[in-house]
Amino acid sequence: MQPDEFRRIGHEVIDWIADYRERLGDLPVRSRVEPGWVRSQLSALPERGEGFDGLLADLDRVVVPGTTHWQHPGFYAYFPSNASLPSVLGDLLSSGLGVQGMLWSTSPACTEVEQHLMDELVGAMGLPESFVGGGVIQDTASSAALVAMLAALHRKSGKWRRSGVDGDETVYVSSQTHSSIERAARMAGLGEEAVRSIGVSPEALSMDVAELARQVQSDVDNGRRPVLVCATIGTTGTGAVDPVREIAEVCARHGIWLHVDAAWAGPAALCPEQRHLFDGLELADSFCANAHKWMLTAFDLSLFWTAHPDVLVDALTILPEYLRNSATESGAVVDYRDWQIPLGRRFRALKLWSVLRWYGLEGVRAHLRGHVELAGLLESWVAADENWELVVPRSLSLVTIAHRAGDDATREAMDTVNAEGSAFLTHTVVNGRFAIRVAIGAEATREHHVRVMWDALRAV
């Protein structure tokens, strides 16, 4: 493909994306195809190359019907995945440059734009100064959790790099912590038996610090080595917020790495009125927030900071001869290959840079505040309804509700709305009770979309 062909076909591709986004609200949110349908529609790979016309036609014929539309204004499931169009263009620019930014020397701009963005966001989000110089873009919060765990293991035992784990390490989560922490423990070689699940308060569903302290002390008394505690700001189920400051005090007494997972709620720190949720963060060893959830940036892009980049780099550095270069040996540059699981890395920062340049911090704050306001409105509608109730207090833009008649009525309402197609909702279980999560976060969602969803729930 020559540049002139790329220019012509590129216009067609951009037109297709723009047309798709314009008609998105008219499509059912969830795909209605049966398992295997998409594959049954695909032909064998061509022996001879062909143009893009057929591919674009197959997008309309096969891909769109087989897609759950995460950018739909009626998408309230899981958490949002904001692929704003400026970030789509930033992703295109990254792919167009086609750099591999494993080392500073392989693309200085790839490294230094990322460093600049991560340090600028420390101030914009009110994060602790200890994170300046310790920021890196991971692909997901799962990878952020794993690198935090590896750094924690390395800090706990300097021999970890040479001989691995001893088998007496322990990791602490709450019953509401995301499963990625347990998965990270498996991947780090600790095994799921190393993971301690701490209870939560019955109302707020936040980690019980007294139980954490007892469990840690018990493990120490029995010759175990506590390595990491994960505190969450905005749990997946209900948006619960763990008491970071109190948890940090337990960690400090035993030399435990404190990782704070704010994958969904983290971008809210851009709004000064929400920073009380992040109390105690200056005591954390690491912190992550996903820009690809609620910060208008196309998947995948997770923001990760550590107050101890030296520990992280020392844990992960391997320098074969073929990667040696004068810039690295000078000590004047950062090589982000040592800050992550894979060796190679894309120029992800261009996606985020495109978003921040287009919207500005003010525009991103307006995006976040608009969803919090819509969630507050839904909360008021639920409070005024005789058949529905809040299961837990609203958390930012997440509202967790249930029908007063019981689990069957709640499930039936959710399934009916999902089948109708104008909205997509998912559930959680709170203290044994089936509940619907309404996670408001799609860029295109407005009050009338939330009203349509709420009226559909009430009509069942």
pLDDT tens-digit readout, 407-450: 999 999 999 999 999 999 999 999 999 999 999 999 999 999 99
Evaluate the omega torsion of the peptide bond into residue 300 and state whether it is cis, within 30 degrees of 0: yes
Q: Say what the pLDDT of residue 238 is.
A: 95
- Over residues 168-177, mean pLDDT: 94
Residues of the chain with CATH 3.90.1150.170: 1-30+68-83+359-460
Q: Say what the pLDDT of residue 320 is.
A: 86
- Over residues 184-207, mean pLDDT: 92
Beta bridge partners of 424: 75
- Over residues 257-272, mean pLDDT: 98
pLDDT tens-digit readout, 350-387: 999 999 999 999 999 999 999 999 999 999 999 999 99
Residue 14, H or E segment? helix 3-23
Residues of the chain with CATH 3.40.640.10: 99-346
Cα distance between residue 88 and residue 215, in whole Å: 46
Percent with pLDDT over 70 in the chain: 100
Answer yes or no: is pLDDT of 210 > 80.
Answer: yes
* Fold (topology level) of 1-30+68-83+359-460: Aspartate Aminotransferase, domain 1 (3.90.1150)
Q: Say what the pLDDT of residue 319 is.
A: 84
Type of residue at 290: N
Q: Give the burial class of 11: count Cβ atoms within 10 A of its Cβ; 0-12 exposed, 13-18 middle, 19 or more buried.
A: exposed
pTM of the model: 0.95
Q: Show the CA angle centred on residue 20, arms to residues 16 and 25, nearest 5°.
A: 170
Residue 85, H or E segment? helix 85-97
- One of 3.20.20.150, 3.40.50.720, 3.40.50.12280, 3.40.640.10 is the CATH number of 99-346, namely 3.40.640.10
Q: Say what the pLDDT of residue 118 is.
A: 98
Answer yes or no: is pLDDT of 404 > 80.
Answer: yes
Give residue 117's pLDDT band: very low, low, confident or very high (50, 70, 90): very high
Contacts of 209 (CB under 8 A, 6+ apart): 243, 246, 247, 250
Q: Say what the pLDDT of residue 342 is.
A: 94
pLDDT tens-digit readout, 95-108: 999 999 999 999 99
